[in-house]
A and B are shown apart, each in its own frame.
Chain A
Amino acid sequence: DAGVIQSPRHEVTEMGQEVTLRCKPISGHNSLFWYRQTMMRGLELLIYFNNNVPIDDSGMPEDRFSAKMPNASFSTLKIQPSEPRDSAVYFCASSFDGAPGEQFFGPGTRLTVL
């Protein structure tokens, strides 16, 4: 099993630009989570999907952030327009309903907004 796959691994962009992060969950998993990690705030849940449907997006910081899951094997997190305070490592994780809470993380995308 390839595990959770994220791309790109690193992204450097300028303030105001659109950023799209991508995630492929583990095959067979039906829940997908987007987290953000910073030194100040630690690991924060942004949004999660179950069976491709967004269930809880209360962690999304503001309207500049949006996430989609068009099918069971792909999700995107988009930031438009990006700001320097969005600089962080963004992780995608997946799990399946038979093992609630047991989440497996991808390697993350390190985003730097200049």
Chain B
Amino acid sequence: GENVEQHPSTLSVQEGDSAVIKCTYSDSASNYFPWYKQELGKGPQLIIDIRSNVGEKKDQRIAVTLNKTAKHFSLHITETQPEDSAVYFCAVYSGGGADGLTFGKGTHLIIQP
């Protein structure tokens, strides 16, 4: 099955600085890569995603890059704000009947004021 590794497990950055979270995956057939933000006591919220025919996607302060050859993708948050503090999960979708997402272990992002 798919194996997803996410790093780092904890990331502390100063407010206004950038944050980068990285994930690697094992199944070359994987074709959809979403990122979720989970705040305390809430369910994961889809914040950005990318499909395998695109190398980069941006939405205001957040962006995702994908390197299919190396089988890794990254979440970039610029100009971080206190409300960005949360746990972020990457996920991988392979389809082909295995329609569940395989999640990374999560990154606890802490924005220092």
Contact = CB atoms under 8 A, between A and B. Distances in A.
B82 interface: no
A50 B42 CA distance: 25
Residue among A59, A100, A101 with the highest chain B CB neighbour number at 10 A: A101
Contact of A101 (B43, B45, B95): B95
Interface residues of B, number: 23
B100 A42 contact: no
A105 B39 CA distance: 13
Interface residues of A, number: 23
Interface stretch (B10-18, B55-63, B72-80, B101-109): B101-109
Contact of A105 (B45, B49, B99, B104): B45
Nearest to B31: A101
A108 B43 contact: yes
Interface in A76-102: 91, 93, 100-102
A94 to B, nearest CB: 12
A25 interface: no
Nearest to A6: B43
Interface in A9-37: 31, 33, 35
Interface in A39-79: 42-43, 45, 48, 50, 55-56, 59
Given A50-B99, A56-B97, A101-B32, 10 more contacts: A42-B105, A43-B103, A56-B98, A91-B43, A100-B93, A101-B31, A101-B49, A101-B101, A102-B46, A107-B43
Question: Which 9 pairs between the two chains have the least Cβ-Cβ distance?
Answer: A101-B93, A45-B100, A105-B43, A101-B32, A43-B103, A105-B44, A107-B43, A42-B105, A108-B43
